[in-house]
């Protein structure tokens, strides 16, 4: 059995150990993890997998930061979110190694500053995109509520987050 296919779906097994959930954030993160695990199994592009795992990492960080009621250091919430992202994505980089070359030829000989091959990691780029989506949806949800004169749609935050993640994933899968 291939460890690369099993590792991303391991968080799904912890879902069955949860007895009670008191907020919608853990539900979002479990949904993102389930989608990422399923994507690995189906052979989806590394960028799309990164989108969902990045969203999962930021959601967990956001949720944990919300559990701490007192601020001990400046920017505490964002530090926790960033640490969650780094500690989730970092260990997965060697496993989900979607590294690709990008040749930029502006002027001069090969190897000069303006004429080089740069490497970029598709999984990392996708993770950053997923993290940005999860970080922006509370603001976007608030704006939608303001436009609707204070009325919220049931499960608005969850729907908006998952909808944006899925739409972004589909577009990127079709384009790349």
Task: Please indicate, yes or no, if residue 6 is contained in any of the structural domains.
Answer: no
Query: Would 141 be classed as within a structural domain?
Result: yes
Domain count, the chain: 1
Q: Stretch 57-79: mean pLDDT, rounded?
A: 90
| Residue 14 in domain | no
Domain membership of residue 150 (yes or no) is: no
44 vs 50: CA distance, rounded Å: 10
Domain assignment present for 51: yes
Does the structure show a pLDDT above 60 at 15?
Answer: no
Q: Tell me the pTM.
A: 0.71
How many CA atoms lie within 13 Å of 15's alpha carbon, on the beta-carbon side?
14
Please give the DSSP secondary-structure letter assigned to residue 73.
S
Segment 41-50 mean pLDDT: 84
Of the ranges 2-6, 42-46, 166-170, the best mean pLDDT one: 166-170
Predicted confidence at residue 2, as pLDDT, reads 58
For residue 36, what are the domain limits? 25-145+157-175
Give yes or no for a contact between 53 and 31, defined as CB atoms under 8 angstroms apart.
Answer: no
Give one DSSP letter per residue of 44-59, joined into a string.
--HHHHHHHHHHHHHH
Tell me if 133 sits within 8 A of 56, measured CB to CB: no
Alpha-carbon distances of 69 from 15, 29, 62, 112, rounded to whole Å: 25, 21, 13, 52
For 151-163, the pLDDT digits (tens) are: 888 888 888 999 9
Is 90 exceeded by the pLDDT of residue 88?
Answer: no
Q: How confident is the model at residue 81 (pLDDT cuts 50, 70, 90)?
A: very high
């Amino acid at each position: 059995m291939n460890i690369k296919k099993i590792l991303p779906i391991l968080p799904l097994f912890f879902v069955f150990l949860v007895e009670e959930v008191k907020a919608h954030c853990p539900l979002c993160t479990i949904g993102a993890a389930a989608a990422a695990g399923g994507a690995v199994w189906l052979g989806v592009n590394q960028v799309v997998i990164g989108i969902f795992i990045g969203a999962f990492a930021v959601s967990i960080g956001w949720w944990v930061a919300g559990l701490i009621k007192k601020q001990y250091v400046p920017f505490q919430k964002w530090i926790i979110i960033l640490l969650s992202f780094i500690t989730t994505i970092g260990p997965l980089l060697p496993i989900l190694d979607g590294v690709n070359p990008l040749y930029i030829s502006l002027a001069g000989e090969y190897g000069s500053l303006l004429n080089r091959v740069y490497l970029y990691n598709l999984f990392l780029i996708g993770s950053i995109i997923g993290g940005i989506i999860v970080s922006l949806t509370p603001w976007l949800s608030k704006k939608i509520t303001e436009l609707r004169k204070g009325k919220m749609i049931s499960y608005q935050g969850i729907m908006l987050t998952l909808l944006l993640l899925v739409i972004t994933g589909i577009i990127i899968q079709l384009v790349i």
